[in-house]
Amino acid sequence: MISSKEVAREAGVSQSTVSRVLNNSNRVSKENVAKVTEAMRKLNYRPNAIARSLVSKRSKTIALISGPLHNPFFVETTSSIVNYAKEKGYNTNVFFENNGDNMAVYETVLSMQVDGIILSSVFMDDPILQELQTSQIPYVMFNRKHNEGGNFVELNNYQAGKMAADHLYQLGHKHIGFIGGPMYTSTFYGRYLGFTEGIAEQTMETGKVFLNETDTSEEAIADAIFKMMGRKERPTAVFAATDAIAITAMDTLMELGYRVPEDISICGVDNVRMARHHAFELTTIGAQSNKNLGRLGIEHLINSIEAGKENMSPIQVTLEPALYQRKTTGPFKPGSV
């Protein structure tokens, strides 16, 4: 590896002069800039980013700890985050959540000297928030948030659940299944709470909610469907707490011979791009924003970073949801299933 010292020798100047032209300081004469530039070219010099960040204390990289990519929501956010960060001059170190055991990842990230952290992996009572705050590293949680607050960008999950309940109730459904992930995450918890309270408000005496708490793996979702549809009283609609779940649920349901929405209605949450595909036309609930939560999160994060520790203001954003009614929900037909 060619170092700035060798460039200096080649150019016949001191290493600090080389460093100066590297950082295009205007304190260098045109002649020396030329000599140094030429020497760099000749030696095919590339500055060592590691060394730079050791002294500058800024690595120009951020860490993303994301939910798994088999969920299209995270496909979209990951894409947005990486691209926006790049645009702003930051590299992104990507990690995927590892079924609950994120501590190893957190340890890695905290010793990596990243300039900022954006994560979707927190639990409502996750000890990581504490670590994050004492570490002084700018961070923002997206999608999920923590009980204690902190910096976050989220959807109003409670409202989303409620809207689903209203929508399905108005279509006449009485027996509704809920499929969601772990209740110690704010998204699933909020959506479930809003949903059940929405149902309750409608005073559906005869209404029933079948709760399925899964780990969001395809197998677990399929199992939930099997169990639910195997009952004597089958649901005529299911509220999937994410579009990813909805899409897998649909797959299983179709495999079992059900038609959507004729036999059973499905409503998701997140309004992912894929849900708009003609093969799905999924009814869903999502934020009224043309930027996804990842994008909003990374914008805030980078603002925070560039503002500096002194004038870092808290980030607490909750987006209001809207219903995107498409073709997977329809009116209850007696005797349909």
Residues in the site for DNA, rule: CB under 7 A? 1, 3-5, 12-17, 19-20, 22-23, 26-29, 31-32, 47-48, 51-52, 54-56
**Which of the listed partners (DNA, a second copy, none) does 16 bind, with a CB threshold of 5 to 8 Å by partner kind?**
DNA
Residue 64: CB minimum distance to a second copy, A:
8
Secondary structure (DSSP) of 130-192: HHHHHHT--EEEESS-BTTB-SEEEE-HHHHHHHHHHHHHHTT--EEEEEE--TTSHHHHHHH
Alpha carbon 196 to chain centroid, angstroms: 25
- C-alpha 313/C-alpha 271 separation (Å) is 29
Question: Among residues 160 and 298, whose Cβ is nearest to a second copy?
Answer: 298
Terminal CA-to-CA distance of the chain, rounded, Å? 70
Select the binding partner of residue 56 from DNA, a second copy, none (C-beta < 5 to 8 A, by kind).
DNA
Nearest distance from C-beta of residue 116 to DNA, angstroms: 18
Binding at 202: pick from a second copy, DNA, none (beta carbon under 5-8 Å per type): none
Give the 3-state secondary structure of residue 294: helix
Backbone angles phi, psi at 212, to 5 degrees: -125, 115
CB of 313 to DNA, least distance (A): 25
Instruction: Closer to DNA by CB, 28 or 132: give it.
Output: 28
Binds 86: which of DNA, a second copy, none (CB < 5-8 Å by kind): a second copy
CB of 23 or CB of 83, closer to DNA: 23
Least distance CB 299 / DNA (angstroms): 26
Q: Which does 322 bind (CB under 5 to 8 A by kind): a second copy, DNA, none?
A: none
Q: How far is the CB of 7 from DNA (least distance, A)?
A: 7
Q: Which does 134 bind (CB under 5 to 8 A by kind): a second copy, DNA, none?
A: a second copy
Q: Tell me whether residue 232 or residue 278 sits nearer to a second copy (CB atom).
A: 278
Distance of alpha carbon 211 from alpha carbon 257, whole angstroms: 22
At 112, is the secondary structure helix, strand, or coil? coil
Is the CB of residue 53 less than 8 Å from the CB of residue 113? yes
Give the whole-angstrom CA distance, residue 121 versus residue 143.
9
Nearer to DNA, 54 or 69 (CB): 54
The burial class, CB within 10 Å (0-12 / 13-18 / 19+), for 225 is buried
CA distance 261 to 36: 69
CB of 211 to a second copy, least distance (A): 25
Q: Which is nearer to DNA, 28 or 64 (CB)?
A: 28
Q: Which does 291 bind (CB under 5 to 8 A by kind): DNA, a second copy, none?
A: none
Smallest gap, in angstroms, from Cβ of residue 160 to a second copy?
24
Q: With left for phi above 0 and alpha for psi between -120 and 50, is residue 243 left, alpha or beta?
A: alpha
- Interface residues toward a second copy, by CB under 8 A: 44, 46-51, 53-54, 59, 61, 68-70, 75-76, 78-79, 82-83, 86, 91-96, 105, 107-108, 110-113, 134, 247, 250-251, 254-255, 273, 277-280
Compute the least distance from the CB of residue 5 to DNA, in Å: 6
Closer of 96 and 324 to a second copy (Cβ): 96
| CA 298/CA 5 separation, integer angstroms | 37
Cα angle value 35/40/44 (rounded, 5°): 150
Residue 19 partner contact from a second copy, DNA, none using kind-dependent CB cut-offs of 5 to 8 Å: DNA
Tell me how far apart the alpha carbons of residues 226 and 33 are, in angstroms, rounded to a whole number: 71
Structure tokens at 281: 């036309």
